[in-house]
Structure 1
Amino acid sequence: MYAYFKGIVAEANADSCVLEVNNIGYNIQIPASTAEMLPPDGQEVKLFTYTSVRENAIELIGFISRDDLNMFSMLITVSGIGPKAALSLLSYINADAIRVAIVTGDVKTLSQAPGLGKKSAERIIVDLKNKFDANTVLAAASGVGTGMVTDMADASMNEDLAEAVEALCALGLARNDAKKAVLSLENTEEMSIDDIIGAALKII
């Protein structure tokens, strides 16, 4: 309904703000990351918005960046993930970190957000993993060229995936090739380490 609002911050809280636009105050729900980046009261800000329509309420949800809005919009397409859960996740970690967690199958990081359990985290990974290119996500998150998979993968990769990469390296594969192959696999959270290694070898 509304792409964005540009107005004066009339009031700001940890999870919402009032934005005055043409003498009308709009109450907008926001994640903690946006709350931290709002200017002081009385100053102008632009918030990219999503309109949440429920049976008994219409709410505006705002983000300081379009990237956060896009991630929010993707998260709520996942079965069982509503606006509240998506906001909780974006308050806990930023969009870049969410993408890294998704492509590396990092259930632990996602499930630590308030209101999100292991099953919800697994569902997010399964439903959204194919939406991203792992190599591009990791390169963007670490600020290097897209042709490299960097140490960001080592930091975010879950234990089974990391062990599979080490095993592939022991077989003589280049580390970047091993990481790229492992991260391209789907549903790795349901696979044993041996299965991950075998599947990775088939696509190298």
Structure 2
Amino acid sequence: MIGQLTGLVSQVEQDRCLVDVNGVGYVVSASTHTLAALARPPEVARVLIETVVREDAIQLFGFFTPEERNWFCLLTTVQGVGARVALAILSVSQPQALLQAVNAGDKQAFTQAAGVGPKLALRIITELRSKVAKMPGLAGAGSTGPLAPLAEGGEVAGLQADVLMALEGLGFRRAETWPVVSRLMADTPDATLDQILRQALQELAR
């Protein structure tokens, strides 16, 4: 198995690059974030690799950071999320944003990726909520309070859902508002919807 390549990135396409290691060219599929971050000749690039072995091919998937590789492995544990879909998700959202989206129950962060509809986005959130805290280097990162509670259908429930929905109606993204709302509700558990909404707007306006 190949875990890392160090060489010259001699060619970059939309979703992959060619890494020249001592005269041998390796085709590496990667997210747009990784492709943009890789060094170009004459500088040497280091690419973390996840090797996927199939009956008809051996594929190399490259990552600029360990966090992105961890998320790739985590996403592909979800039924319906293959390597290509996982890369599409990582191309539109960075690891920190994905963590917040899972905690907040924000499907939009996933449906922006090609091949991900609302049902698959909901499945990703539901299956990964219990797993993200166990990811190396990410436990607790980007989280300022308890997970947003989910109703039977997988949507965020209760007062928190009402506040988040109201903020979404005002143009704020759920992954952006959830940490603020979650912390405010933890600090003032007896606050009403109007009070939480007013305080959240004051903080978000800053």
The TM-score normalised by the length of structure 2 is: 0.68
2:50 alignment partner in structure 1: 50
**3-state secondary structure, aligned to 1:10:** strand
Is the 1:9–1:42 contact (alpha carbons within 8 Å) kept by the matching residues of 2?
Answer: no
1:92 offset after TM fit, Å?
A: 0.8
2:203 alignment partner in structure 1: none
1:165 offset after TM fit, Å?
A: 7.6
Higher helix share: 1
**3-state secondary structure, aligned to 2:129:** helix
Distance 1:19 1:177, change over 3 A: same
Equivalent runs, 1:171-190 vs 2, <5 Å: 176=183, 178=185
Is the 1:34–1:63 contact (alpha carbons within 8 Å) kept by the matching residues of 2?
Answer: yes
Equivalent runs, 1:38-77 vs 2, <5 Å: 38-77=38-77
Distance 1:112 1:83, change over 3 A: same
Unaligned stretches of 5+ residues in structure 2: 149-154, 166-180, 190-206
2:30 alignment partner in structure 1: 30
Is the 1:49–1:63 contact (alpha carbons within 8 Å) kept by the matching residues of 2?
Answer: yes
Is the 1:102–1:125 contact (alpha carbons within 8 Å) kept by the matching residues of 2?
Answer: yes
CA distance in 2, matches of 1:126, 1:11: 38
1:122 aligned partner, one-letter code: L
The TM-score normalised by the length of structure 1 is: 0.69
Equivalent runs, 1:90-109 vs 2, <5 Å: 90-109=90-109
CA distance in 2, matches of 1:34, 1:126: 27
Residues 1:136 and 2:140 aligned together: yes
* 1:19-76, Cα deviation, whole Å (9 max, x unpaired): 1112211110111011111222332111111111222221100011111000000000
Is the 1:11–1:41 contact (alpha carbons within 8 Å) kept by the matching residues of 2?
Answer: no
User: Which consecutive aligned stretches of 4+ in structure 1 deviate over 4 angstroms post-superposition?
Assistant: 157-160
Unaligned stretches of 5+ residues in structure 1: 140-147, 167-173, 183-204
Residue-pair matches, total: 160
2:162 aligned partner, one-letter code: E
Is the 1:39–1:45 contact (alpha carbons within 8 Å) kept by the matching residues of 2?
Answer: yes
